[in-house]
Each structure stands twice: as structure tokens, then as C-alpha cells.
Amino acid sequence: MKSMKNNLGIYKALVIYTYLLVIIAILLYKFPGLIQYNVKHMENNKALSHENYISGGYLSDTTKFSIDDMYFPVAVDGNIDEKLYYYDTYGGERTYGGERTHEGCDIMTKNNVRGELPIVSVCDGIVEKIGWLELGGYRLGIRDKSGVYYYYAHLYRYEDGITEGMTVYAGQVIGYIGDTGYSKVEGTTGNFDVHLHFGIYLTDSKGTEYTVNPYFMLKKLEKSVINYSFKNQ
């Protein structure tokens, strides 16, 4: 008798569990936006949290920075709004080379002319990486004294004299905006509009590298744009 009661209890639990699964399946079928909303809501909360970090002068719990010692990564001749535009594209979908998420922010030129605007280092640091990457084209990686790695991609060309291992300073010209990349063939251009892909990478206590959204830092750095006159050579 006791065994029958136990079996009956298990049976009822299975029926209820199955019933709940059916209800959930129906809800998701009729309202597919529920999952998208929850994911987007989580992303928005994460972005808001990072915006608060930037406002407080932090890239993470332990990594502090000073906007006063930094510059916007693209120099312009005139008003920034007349030359450039960018949105918060961090985390967006990318498909070249397989499905992935966007690990930076794209600063677009309004005239789509490669090589016209200089790229400057946002901070003092060491040139850690330079050269061609299939995704990033001609790219530069600069690490500051606190260990933050700043990534500049799709450059048209490098400034003369920029080499791996050298020290660069905030505001120093390191290259020129372009559209290189998305190819294994070095020097490939034209696969997308002219822009700078700007990324920020940190390393956690376990030595694992991760990205943070650069958009909020860029908005802060708009007050530190270098005016520079340059004609394509």
C-alpha cells in the first residue's frame, strides 16, 4: 500500500511537471519576445552599471583611470560632429569568421575617406602588438601602466616610426583611419566603410582577459579631441 502511494505521488509530480513545460512552451511560442526582452534587459542593466563605473573614474572594481590625462582616439580638423559619428555597438552581432559579438565601438567617418584622419593614442603606454590581422586589418595594441589594453583596428596605415615595444604618449599620432581587414590577404580594403574599431581589454585576478564597453569612455573623451589638419598623401 505504501509503495502504491509513493508511485502515485511520483506520477502526480510528473503530470504537473509536464503540464508546466507545456504551458511554458505555449507562452514562448505565442510571445517569443519574452526571452529577447529578458536578455536585452540584462544587457541594459550591465551597460548602465558600466556607465556608472566610467562616471566614477573606474574601468573595473580595481582599475582606475583619469580622463584628464587621456584623448579621444581620432583627431579631427574642426568639429567632431561634422567629421565622425558612433553608437553603442558593443555586443552586437558579427558574422565574418563565424558568429561572434562585437568587442568594441566603431567610430565612423562621415565622408568615408581612408587615411584622412589621424588616430592618436588615448593614453601613455607601450605598443604591445602591431601588424596585420584577418579581422582587424592593420591594428595596434597599446597597454597602459595599469595593465589596460587598448585596441585600434582597421587602420589605413601606421604613423612613421611606430614600432612594437616602443613607448607612446597620450595624444601621439599612431596611424590613420581606414577600412583594412576581413581578409587573409594583407592590405585588403573596401570590405566595409572607413572607421576605427576601438576596444578595451582588462585582465582579471586569474589572468583571464575580458572586454569592457568603450562607448561610455569615448563619450567622456569627446571633451579631449585633438584638432589636427591633415591631407591624404
209 bridge partner residues: 203
Q: What is the pTM of this model?
A: 0.73
At 15-74, the pLDDT tens digits run 677 777 777 666 556 655 444 434 344 344 444 445 555 555 666 655 666 778 899 999
Fold of the CATH domain 64-224: Glucose Permease (Domain IIA) (2.70.70)
Q: What does 119-152 look like in DSSP terms, one character per residue?
A: EE-SSSEEEEEEEEETTTEEEEEEE-TTS-EEEE
pLDDT of residue 45: 42
Q: Report how far Cα 187 is from the mean position of its chain's Cα atoms.
A: 23
Q: Cβ atoms within 10 A of the Cβ of 184, count?
A: 8
pLDDT at 22: 75
Structural domain spans, the chain: 2-31, 64-224
Binned at pLDDT 50, 70 and 90, residue 119 comes out as: very high
